[in-house]
Amino acid sequence: EKGGYAHFMLKEIHEQPDALANAIRGRLDFNLGTSVLSGMGTSPRELAEISRIVLVGCGTSLHAGLVGEYAFEDLANIPAEVQQAAEFRYRNPIVSRNDLVVAISQSGETADTLAAVREAIQKGAFVMSLCNVVGSTIARETSRGVYLHAGPEISVASTKAFTCQVAILLMMALKLGRGRRFSREEGMQLAKAIESIPDLVARTVRQSDHIAEIAARYAKNEHAFFIGRGPMYPVALEGALKLKEISYIHAEGYHAAELKHGPIALLEKDTPVVALACDIPGKDKTLGNVEECRARGARILGIITEGDHEAAAVMDDVIEIPRTHPLVATIPAAVALQLFAYHVANARGCEIDQPRNLAKSVTVE
Active-site annotation, residues: 360
The answer to whether the CB of 243 falls within 8 A of the CB of 352 is: no
User: What is the Cα–Cα distance from 194 to 330, expressed in whole angstroms?
Assistant: 12
Position among 13, 56, 58, 243 found at the interface with ligand M6R (CB under 6 A): 58
Per DSSP, helices labelled H in the chain are 8-14, 16-24, 44-49, 59-76, 85-90, 111-122, 137-141, 160-178, 184-195, 197-205, 208-216, 232-247, 283-295, 309-312, 330-347
User: Binding segment for ligand M6R among 40-48, 191-199, 220-228, 356-364 (CB under 6 A)?
Assistant: 356-364
Under rule CB under 6 A, which residues in 195-214 are in contact with ligand M6R?
none
Binding residues for ligand M6R, rule CB under 6 A, total: 17
60 near ligand M6R (CB under 6 A): yes
Q: Does 83 bind ligand M6R (CB under 6 A)?
A: no
Distance CA 9, CA 179 (A): 38
Task: Quote the DSSP letter at residue 94.
Answer: -
Residues 148, 106 contacting (CB under 8 angstroms): yes
From 105, 137, 324, 330, residue interacting with ligand M6R (rule: CB under 6 A)? 105
Residues 116-175 that bind ligand M6R (CB under 6 A): 156-158
Dist CA 325 CA 193 (whole Å): 6
User: Considering beta carbons, is residue 8 or 182 the nearer one to ligand M6R?
Assistant: 8
- The answer to whether residue 15 forms part of the interface with ligand M6R (CB under 6 A) is no
Backbone phi, psi, residue 250, to 5°:
-70, 110
**Residue nearer to ligand M6R on the CB measure, 35 or 110:** 110
Candidates 53-61, 254-262, 279-287, 325-333: pick the segment binding ligand M6R (CB under 6 A).
53-61
C-alpha 311/C-alpha 333 separation (Å) is 15
Instruction: Go through the chain and tell me how many residues it has.
Output: 365
Q: How far is the CB of 291 from ligand M6R (least distance, A)?
A: 31
Q: What is the DSSP string of 101-130?
A: EEEEESSS--HHHHHHHHHHHHTT-EEEEE
Nearest to 88 by CA among 365, 357, 361: 365
Q: How far is the CB of 358 from ligand M6R (least distance, A)?
A: 6
Contact stretch for ligand M6R (CB under 6 A) within 19-27, 55-63, 224-232, 257-265: 55-63
Tell me: does residue 35 bind ligand M6R (CB under 6 A).
no
Among 16, 110, 247, 330, binds ligand M6R (CB under 6 A): 110
Judged by CB under 6 A, the chain residues 214 through 253 that form the site for ligand M6R are 241, 245
Binding ligand M6R (rule: CB under 6 A), the pick from 59, 230, 253, 332 is 59
How far is the C-alpha of 105 from the C-alpha of 57, rounded, in Å? 6
What does the binding site for ligand M6R look like in residue numbers (CB under 6 A)? Answer: 58-61, 105-107, 110, 113, 156-158, 241, 245, 358, 361-362
